[in-house]
Amino acid sequence: MGIGKTAFGAFADRDLRSLAVEAGEKCLRNAHAAPAQVESFYLGNFAGPAFVGQNHLAPYVSTALGIYGVPSTRIEAACASSGSAFFHAWTEVAAGVYDLVLVVGVEKMTSQPTARVSQILAEAGDCSGEMKVGSTFASLFAMIARRHMYEFGTKKEHLSMVAVKNHAAGALNPDAHMRKVITLEQAMKAKPIAEPLNLYDCSLVSDGAAAVLLAPLERAREFTAKPVRVLGIAQCSDYVALDQKADIVTFPAVRRAGEQAYRMAGVTPREIEFAELHDCFTIAEIVATEDLGFVEKGQGGPYAFAGCTALRGERPVNTSGGLKSKGHPVGATGVAQICDLVLQIRGEAGERQIERHSLALAENLGGSGATCVVTILGAA
């Protein structure tokens, strides 16, 4: 397995294709592989046509990487686009259809003004209902947070601590969009966005790309001295609209994908040593720790507040800084999570390196829980 990422940030002088090519080329170099060896190509991208006005994106990127004559497929699954692309690439390799499959996730978001970005993102929700009445994902996740507070006594301090610890990790990540340490007081008193969420509860609008090269286990050492194995993986779906869900403080797609991935890997939640979880909003990370079985339902807030998910905690979550600090170029996020897990497993995470790093999980969420991909990785 090879990995490659761009820095995440706001890059006025970069276009979507140049970001994707940078990540793809870094990945191929990391795997000591040539473009001509790639047998299939997947692109994870949510809204390139809306953000940059370009359609037919998969061959647009693959040919720029020097990859010709192979299947080039774009996967769109909202913020889970490249997690889903990784899932489909893995199925090709696991089925023996192809040996070397390259996955690139990319998004160029800052080419549009903030209001337009919010509108494009909202289109991953229910346009006939939620969007018509003015809902955005900030307002939807604010409802989830408020309900979680009502049912379980979750506090604003719990949400803010997720932001604090993710910024602390992101400050050590040279590729992070916002390398800024914040205090609990700053997080608590930031500009309100959608009650009870404020500025530090919300992920960033970012540009960036990430890439992974997949190969069969028996060929892995042709490409790296430190192969990492996909032990379990699953993609599940659920209703798009929040009002169709029986319970808005849990995501059935996350629970089901987690259960399937654990079963495939032959492990339990207790055995997962660290994770990259989808913190598009701080409440999303708290709910994910519960739905994935790291803690009992309702205990995600106190678990984070106690420091258990911090970089030096008992089970670090988002050692990359997460979407909150690393950035959230939505089509790149799922593959970027995989890259960050691989860095830790290989012992190459620099100042962010954790001591226990042999078994890891990534959870990539699309919309308000309509799509989820859970991947479990371990050292081969």
**Of these residues, 328, 339, 357, 372, which one is catalytic?**
328
Q: Is 308 a catalytic residue?
A: no
**Strand segments (E) across the chain:** 2-5, 40-44, 72-75, 101-108, 192-194, 197-198, 207-214, 228-237, 274-277, 359-366, 371-379
Give me the sign of the Cα torsion angle 257, 262, 265, 271. positive
The SS3 of residue 365 is strand
- The single residue of 27, 79, 202, 372 carrying the catalytic annotation is 79
| 79 counts as catalytic | yes
Neighbours of 208 (CB within 10 A): 32
Separation CA 56–CA 320 (nearest Å): 31
CB 41 within 8 A of CB 68: no
DSSP 306-342: TTTTSTTSSS-B-TT-HHHHT---GGGHHHHHHHHHH
HSE toward the beta carbon, residue 281, CA cutoff 13 A: 26
Cα-Cα end-to-end distance for the chain? 10
The H or E element that residue 290 is part of is helix 282-291
Active site residues: 79, 328
